Structure 1
């Protein structure tokens, strides 16, 4: 497929629920950039043919990558960035001098959102690709009081060793006795069971980040808000990682001074 208008897209399966097109098109409109951003369903079986097609299209600027293709995207790249390699996943593919570059803007997004918070004690729920991005962001921020709680204790133990955590993992439903809590699992997402976890032992100045972006608020964030804790939802993460992607895809910084209008539109 060839297009006269430059375009980027988000790919994955399923993809109809993605808010990425709305975010990127909002910024394109504000900056008056003549380009488009789409959502395209791509299965793992389709991925190789998809990349061959897009490499041949001069209008293609790259794509954001979501489930289940983040690991495939990393392996397909000619030149993976350090962050993509460290997390074992890529959420962005771009072409640079004919080479397919794999990046991970999730790490920078989480780092930006967590930077103002107290990071002396943080519990991360999960042991998958999202947890890896979280752990790398926390490492870059210098946080040393990080603990994993997971169902797959073997994989979680491996992550603790890889990221140099001070102690081994605990079972998923262990008490939350940290200042910060991050849900890096899909639990609480629409159609998936919510998290049943006790927040009563978290301090009054604690905070909770939930990577799930639909529904909003998630049951976990509702419980945190009821306790008066600071909450950060998955939509904030989505916009932050999109900002990093936008600059790499379209060559301009997004107009973050319009964030209030953007979030109002996304939450409507």
Structure 2
């Protein structure tokens, strides 16, 4: 039940209609019997996003998840931030309290949770991980992988962009010379929005393949990896993984036990994936 005293949080992005976050968070709120709501917001420009944050400062919202194109602006508007948000220079969580804004980033944590869930035999410490791409998705992934002790190689069409990201993220991150680097990789992560042109025959039999997108949940990249008998990790597991720490930050309590995956798969089927 929602009353006038409801705890309200939400997600801000443009576009936002495709987001599964309201499905997840409102399911948790219902399961917990909480007087609350999680609402999608679509600011059409940076000025309107800043106005939304101002509403949070004024006490109208508990907090926000933030998605493209506002993650870097969200970080810049915060009064304080976690180490992981500072490392990537962006935030997907803003918490409002006593007129102040605190920024965090749970994208990397979601990735690690997904790997633990769907590739439990994988060991990241001292393992080679190849990340395909050098954009915002790659940035969040690399920070968490380095924290877990992995050696990361970036493979990107634009070498300059990969080198810039590598320089920012420390000496455990470097730029791959060519596709041959995947031969020694324990994990390959597609952080691109397109199907990567990687020959999966180069991968070792024990390699894990992950795709950060979840539309569709089983991408062509993952299908090809599975056909080779490789362990795969999908973007839906990562989405659910980052949602739990988001819920706890926004609503000040952990989410109740609830298997969200069947609910999300049914929702994706209903809207055409």
Q: If the length of structure 2 is used for normalisation, what is the TM-score?
A: 0.87
Tell me if the contact between 2:115 and 2:233 (Cα under 8 Å) persists in the aligned partners.
no
1:32, CA displacement in angstroms?
0.7
Tell me if the contact between 2:55 and 2:61 (Cα under 8 Å) persists in the aligned partners.
no
- 1:8-23 equivalences under 5 Å are 8-23=9-24
Tell me if the contact between 1:94 and 1:248 (Cα under 8 Å) persists in the aligned partners.
yes
1:44, CA displacement in angstroms?
2.9
Question: Is 1:78 aligned to residue 79 of structure 2?
Answer: yes
Higher helix share: 2
Partner in structure 1 of residue 182 of structure 2: 176
Q: Separation in 2 of the partners of 1:204 and 1:256? A: 35
Judged with a 3 Å threshold, the aligned counterparts in structure 2 of structure 1 residues 33 and 166 are, in CA distance, closer, same or farther, namely: closer
- Which of 105, 121, 128 is matched with 2:128 structurally? 121
Partner in structure 1 of residue 157 of structure 2: 151
What's the C-alpha RMSD, in Å, of the aligned pairs?
2.1
Partner in structure 2 of residue 51 of structure 1: 53
Partner in structure 2 of residue 102 of structure 1: 103
Q: Separation in 2 of the partners of 1:257 and 1:5? A: 22
SS of the residue 2:91 aligns to: coil
Q: Separation in 2 of the partners of 1:21 and 1:147? A: 34
Which segment is superposed worse, 18-27 or 174-183? 174-183
Higher relative contact order (CA 8 A, sep 6+): 2
Tell me if the contact between 1:125 and 1:172 (Cα under 8 Å) persists in the aligned partners.
no
1:67, CA displacement in angstroms?
0.5
Tell me if the contact between 1:173 and 1:197 (Cα under 8 Å) persists in the aligned partners.
yes
Give 5+ residue unaligned stretches, structure 1: 188-193
Partner in structure 2 of residue 39 of structure 1: 40
Q: Separation in 2 of the partners of 1:17 and 1:169? A: 33
Partner in structure 1 of residue 148 of structure 2: 141
1:141, CA displacement in angstroms?
0.8
Q: Provide the aligned length of Structure 1 versus Structure 2.
A: 258
Give 5+ residue unaligned stretches, structure 2: none
- 1:212-251 equivalences under 5 Å are 212-251=213-252
1:34, CA displacement in angstroms?
1.1
1:227, CA displacement in angstroms?
1.0
Tell me if the contact between 1:124 and 1:147 (Cα under 8 Å) persists in the aligned partners.
yes
